[in-house]
Chains A and B, each alone.
Chain A
C-alpha cells in the first residue's frame, strides 16, 4: 500500500511568485487536507477536499487555493508569495472525511521565500 507522497521536497521562491505543491493520497483514500507548519509551531489547517469539492477551510486568504482530481490527488496553489509563507506544507489523506478517520501524512514540502 503506497502512502501519501508529496512533491517537491524542497522549493525556493521569491516574493510575489506563485507556487504549486502536489500530493498523492494513499490508495483507497478520498479526502485530502493541507496544513501549514511554520518553524517551531504546530500545523495550521488550510483546507480539506472531499471527492473533488472543498469541504472546509481555515483562516487563510484566497491566494491559497486548491484542487482535487478524480484520482483524489491534490494540489495546493499559493499566489503572490509573501515572506511569511515560508513553512513546511503537509498533506494528509484519509479514507473518508469523518471525524473518526485517522489522517495519514506525507513528508511535507519545505517552501522557502527569499
Chain B
C-alpha cells in the first residue's frame, strides 16, 4: 500500500526567508502524481503545486518549488521569500490509478511565519 510521511509536525521561518518542508512516500508504482496542498485556518484545501512522476524537471509555481527525487521517493517543498499569508498547514499527497484514484495524504506540517 502507498504511504506518505511528513516528518516535521511544525516549522517556523522568518518573513522573507526560505523554508523547506519534507515529504517522503512509498510506492511500487512508476506512474503517479505528487501534490502539495495548503490548508489555512479557513479550512479550504488549496493546491500549491503538483509534480508528475515521469517528468524529471522539478515543478515551480512563483515562490514555490519542489525538489523531486524519484529514486529516493522524496518530494520536498521550498517556499522562497516567505510571507505572512503563507502561514498554514501544508499537506503532501500522492495519487495514482493503482491507489484507486484517491489522494493519499501525509499528516501535515504546520508552517509558522515570524514577522
- Chain A positions within 8 Å of B, measured between CB atoms, are 33, 35, 41-45, 48, 55-58, 88, 90, 92, 97-100, 102-108, 110
Contact = CB atoms under 8 A, between A and B. Distances in A.
B112 to A, nearest CB: 16
Given A99-B97, A100-B33, A58 B102 contact: yes
B44 A56 contact: no
Contact of B46 (A45, A88, A105): A105
Contact of B101 (A35, A42, A88, A97): A97
B53 to A, nearest CB: 10
Contacts of B42: 107
Interface of B: 4, 31-33, 35, 37, 42-47, 50, 52, 91, 93, 95-97, 100-108
B50 A42 contact: no
Question: What are the nearest 3 A-B pairs in CB distance?
Answer: A42-B105, A45-B102, A56-B100
A110 B97 CA distance: 30
Contacts of B32: 99
B102 A99 contact: no
